[in-house]
Amino acid sequence: MAKKPGVYPVYENQFQVGEESSSLSDIADMESFSVSFDNGVEEWTPMNTEGWIRRLMTAKGMTISVSGKRNVGDTGNDYVAGKSFKNGRDAEGTFQWTFPDGTKVLIEGAVFNITALGAADSTNVAPLEFDVMSNGKPTITPAI
């Protein structure tokens, strides 16, 4: 996808998951997402700044929270739901976020934190909600 100028609808963001970057699948029936950054900022106040604080960003983390519906039989949806009862390294996988302009953020070894699976009111469609947490520096491939 080539770069497009201007605004865009949120649904043009796409997510792919899998064990390895060579075998990623889209996740069906996801409805919304949010992104938060955890930044580590070191602060110090040297004598020569007359009380003004100096700062340097020294760490970074990212959490992508995704929510939608559980779609049994969809490869990507099943992959995420399959992380529900996993711990340790078994709860890790590969996650890719593709922006509308074609930029890709690839998180290998991402931690899948499943927060909702199938439980809701009897007349609701079963949910699938999860956080993808970075685990090291992601690979960012700019759009061409």
Amino acid at 110: A
- Does residue 2 have a pLDDT over 90? no
**pTM (two decimals):** 0.90
pLDDT at 6: 87
Q: Which residues, at least 6 apart from 97, have a Cβ–Cβ distance to it below 8 Å?
A: 13, 14, 15, 64, 104, 105, 107
Integer-rounded Cα Rg, in Å, for the chain is 18
Q: Rounded distance, CA 24 to CA 94, Å?
A: 8
What kind and span of H or E run contains 35? strand 30-44
Range 119-140 average pLDDT: 96
Q: Rounded distance, CA 45 to CA 25, Å?
A: 49
Averaged confidence pLDDT in the chain: 95
pLDDT at 53: 98
Q: By percentage, how much of the chain surpasses pLDDT 70?
A: 97
Residue with tokens 């602060």: 43
Range 83-99 average pLDDT: 97
- Does residue 4 have a pLDDT over 90? no
Range 57-79 average pLDDT: 98
